[in-house]
Amino acid sequence: MDEVEKQLAVAVHDDDGFIGEAAGHLLAAGGKRFRPLVVLLAAEFGDQPGSDDVPPAAVVIELTHLATLYHDDVMDEAALRRGAASANARWDNSIAILTGDYLFAVASRVVAGLGTDAVRIQAETFERLVHGQIHETIGPREGQDPLQHYLDVVADKTGSLIATAARFGAMTSGASDEAIALLTEFGERVGTVFQLADDVIDVASDTADSGKTPGTDLREGVPTLPTLLVQKASRPEDARLLDLLSGPIHADADVEEALTLLRSNPALEEARALVHRQAEAARELLDPLPDNAARQALAGLCDRVVTRVG
């Protein structure tokens, strides 16, 4: 991971001081480096986990993730990211968008060194990321199940890049085709379930537990797993809650009322159960792989998902 950090710093450096500052803004703000970690863990299932191609693969994934954050903050009009001012707040929307584009370009340059297969996979992943963002923006089509639409969006926006992280790690270390396929599917599932777990936490946890303000998605009118399950069930006794969920909730008292109603609604337990099932399904994908420390670490990610939602 130290080598990945060094290569990230080199990748975002630019002789134009302003571009280098803007590109390194969110990198310097920190982050969990979850996606590069998945690359490194997946690489442990190949014959050459120390291959020189592994750190650049992790760099490509993290640069792509960072680029999406610059664009997301513009679309969400976010003022903060990772505890620091977002790029759009520090400069403006145009600079944030162009910096995201720059990071995508840098990721493309780095991935070119990994060969044509890696370039193709990166392009396909980028395509899915944009598909997911567009579909989230326009919402479900007439007659389309809103819940399935949302699950598809989460798979594209979150699962796809983590799937590619696992795939790149396995590929660059010389893992077998079977291991590459298993780890890719694992990455997609565990990435998706982490987002679904966040949906539950936004309703079920208080600030002290999660470090986040509960009801953030409710305030923004963003559909999430629990709210979509309430709307899908459409029970007569949920009339007040359904009315609150019909759009963004601005008043603090209404947010508190919606949280109270959601916490006592069967949809919350249904959402928890779905997260548990998906986490267990992801864990089971690891069974055919060698029982090494990397497999235990990946299984630990599934445990963490379940622990987070209770």
Q: What is the pLDDT of residue 77?
A: 61
pLDDT, mean over the chain: 89
In a shared domain, residues 164 and 189: no
In a shared domain, residues 261 and 193: yes
> Does 70 or 200 have the greater pLDDT score?
200
In a shared domain, residues 129 and 21: yes
Final residue in a domain of this structure, among 132, 150, 175: 175
- The closest alpha carbon to 210, from 219, 224, 199, 226, belongs to 199
Final residue in a domain of this structure, among 113, 146, 175: 175
In a shared domain, residues 187 and 261: yes
Tell me what the mean pLDDT of segment 228-245 comes to. 96
Tell me what the mean pLDDT of segment 80-109 comes to. 77
Split into its structural domains, the chain has a count of: 2
In a shared domain, residues 267 and 155: no
In a shared domain, residues 49 and 1: yes
Q: What is the pLDDT of residues 111-141, one digit of tens each?
A: 999 999 999 999 999 999 999 999 988 899 9
In a shared domain, residues 21 and 158: yes
In a shared domain, residues 25 and 158: yes
Final residue in a domain of this structure, among 175, 207, 227: 175
User: Residue 245: is its pLDDT beyond 70?
Assistant: yes
CATH code for position 93: 1.10.600.10
Q: What is the pLDDT of residues 149-167, one digit of tens each?
A: 999 999 999 999 999 999 9
In a shared domain, residues 147 and 183: no
Domain that holds residue 245: 177-309
In a shared domain, residues 46 and 165: yes
In a shared domain, residues 17 and 148: yes
Tell me what the mean pLDDT of segment 197-214 comes to. 73
In a shared domain, residues 44 and 187: no
| Lowest-confidence pick of 213-222, 245-254, 260-269 | 213-222
